[in-house]
């Protein structure tokens, strides 16, 4: 199926690994031109080698720093002008900032997980409006279910869900669709590291038990495949939606399962 993404310039934050990388690779397969932002320079170099320098543009940036983010937005606008078609707000980390950690840690968590979503969207909005493009936010089931011990991340992801609806209303008049994918347990490098370091195997088994479809973790590619459709020219009348790509984790109650 032709998704109409050939040569479309789409910015992906946190695109050097995990869900972001899977989206970047899918964009390349569709003939799009991903513009990848990530703080991990070595991971970006590996991605450029994997894809080929001519197929992508990369920027090293710590998006938790508002000044760095402002500078990278300025660079993108200077290089690509009004050619930006889409934006995937993906970068973030479940940093475990809890009620016990104080206001400074909470604010820092919002910087890591929320503020740059607003900053990137507002900074690239004029080009996306001109091209009647797409904005895709990546959230988390934590916004819906809670987790315990991660107030900063939960607050950020809840705000991202709300902003998806807000921006969809604000930008609909320009032909821009804004949607959000809400994953649950995705087998990213960060998640694999947590499993490796988790001493209580029961926690992992309990998570798998709650994933009704297949009793397995979601693959980054499964999130990416849905992301590509939402960004594509085939998505012509869907906006303001929170799409749960989670194997049924969030909304299908299987509490009687053993």
pLDDT band at 98 (very low <50, low <70, confident <90, very high): very high
At residue 38, φ and ψ (nearest 5 deg) are -160, 155
What value does the mean pLDDT take over residues 206-218?
A: 88
Note the pLDDT tens digit of each residue in 19-33. Answer: 999 999 999 999 999
What value does the mean pLDDT take over residues 120-134?
A: 98
d(CA 213, CA 250): 12
Out of 85, 117, 153, 249, the active site residue is 153
The answer to which of 120-134, 140-154, 243-257 has the lowest mean pLDDT is 243-257
pLDDT band at 256 (very low <50, low <70, confident <90, very high): low
How much is the pLDDT for 207? 84
Question: With 90 as the cut, is the pLDDT of residue 149 above it?
Answer: yes
Question: With 90 as the cut, is the pLDDT of residue 254 above it?
Answer: no
Q: What percent of the chain has pLDDT over 90?
A: 83
What value does the mean pLDDT take over residues 152-164?
A: 98
What value does the mean pLDDT take over residues 226-238?
A: 97
Please tell me which residue, 187 or 219, carries the higher pLDDT value: 219
Q: Which strand (E) or helix (H) includes residue 152?
A: helix 151-171
Task: Identify whether 174 is a catalytic site residue.
Answer: no
How much is the pLDDT for 192? 79
pLDDT band at 199 (very low <50, low <70, confident <90, very high): low
pLDDT mean across residues, the chain = 94
Q: Which strand (E) or helix (H) includes residue 33?
A: strand 33-38
What value does the mean pLDDT take over residues 83-105?
A: 96
Please tell me which residue, 67 or 2, carries the higher pLDDT value: 67
> Taking the model in full, what pTM does it have?
0.94
Task: Give 164-219 as a DSSP string.
Answer: HHHHHHHHGGGT-EEEEE---SB--HHHHHHHHH-S-HHHHHHHHHH-TTTSSPBP
d(CA 62, CA 72): 10
Question: With 60 as the cut, is the pLDDT of residue 258 above it?
Answer: no
Residue 133: partners with Cβ closer than 8 Å, 6 or more residues away: 8, 84, 85, 86, 87, 127, 176
Torsion of CA 217, 222, 226, 229, to 10 degrees: 180
Domains recognised in the chain with CATH numbers: 9-183+220-242 (3.40.50.720), 185-217 (no CATH)
Question: With 90 as the cut, is the pLDDT of residue 190 above it?
Answer: no
Torsion of CA 199, 205, 217, 58, to 10 degrees: -10
Q: Which of 86, 16, 90 is nearest to 48 (CA)?
A: 16
């Amino acid at each position: 199926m032709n998704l109409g993404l050939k040569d479309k310039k789409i910015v992906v934050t946190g695109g050097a690994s995990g869900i972001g990388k899977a989206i970047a690779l899918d964009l390349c397969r569709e003939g799009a031109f991903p513009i990848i932002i990530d703080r991990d320079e070595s991971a970006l170099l590996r991605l450029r080698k994997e894809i080929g320098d001519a197929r992508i543009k990369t920027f090293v940036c710590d998006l938790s720093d508002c000044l760095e983010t402002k500078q990278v937005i300025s660079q993108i606008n200077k290089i690509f002008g009004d050619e930006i078609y889409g934006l995937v707000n993906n970068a973030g980390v479940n940093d475990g900032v809890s009620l016990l950690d104080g206001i400074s840690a909470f604010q820092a968590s919002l910087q890591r997980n929320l503020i740059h979503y607003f900053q990137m969207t507002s900074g690239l909005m004029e080009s996306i409006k001109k091209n009647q493009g797409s904005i895709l936010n990546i959230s988390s089931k934590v916004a819906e279910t809670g987790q315990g011990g991660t107030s900063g991340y939960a607050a950020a992801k809840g705000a991202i869900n709300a902003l998806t609806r807000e921006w969809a209303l604000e930008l609909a008049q320009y032909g821009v669709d804004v949607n959000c994918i809400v994953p649950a347990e995705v087998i990213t490098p960060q998640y694999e590291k947590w499993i490796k370091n988790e001493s209580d195997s029961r926690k992992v088994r309990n998570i798998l038990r709650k994933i009704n479809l297949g009793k397995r973790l979601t693959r980054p590619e499964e999130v990416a495949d849905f992301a590509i459709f939402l960004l594509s020219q085939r998505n012509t009348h869907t906006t303001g939606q929170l799409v749960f790509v989670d194997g049924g984790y969030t909304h299908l109650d299987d509490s009687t399962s053993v």
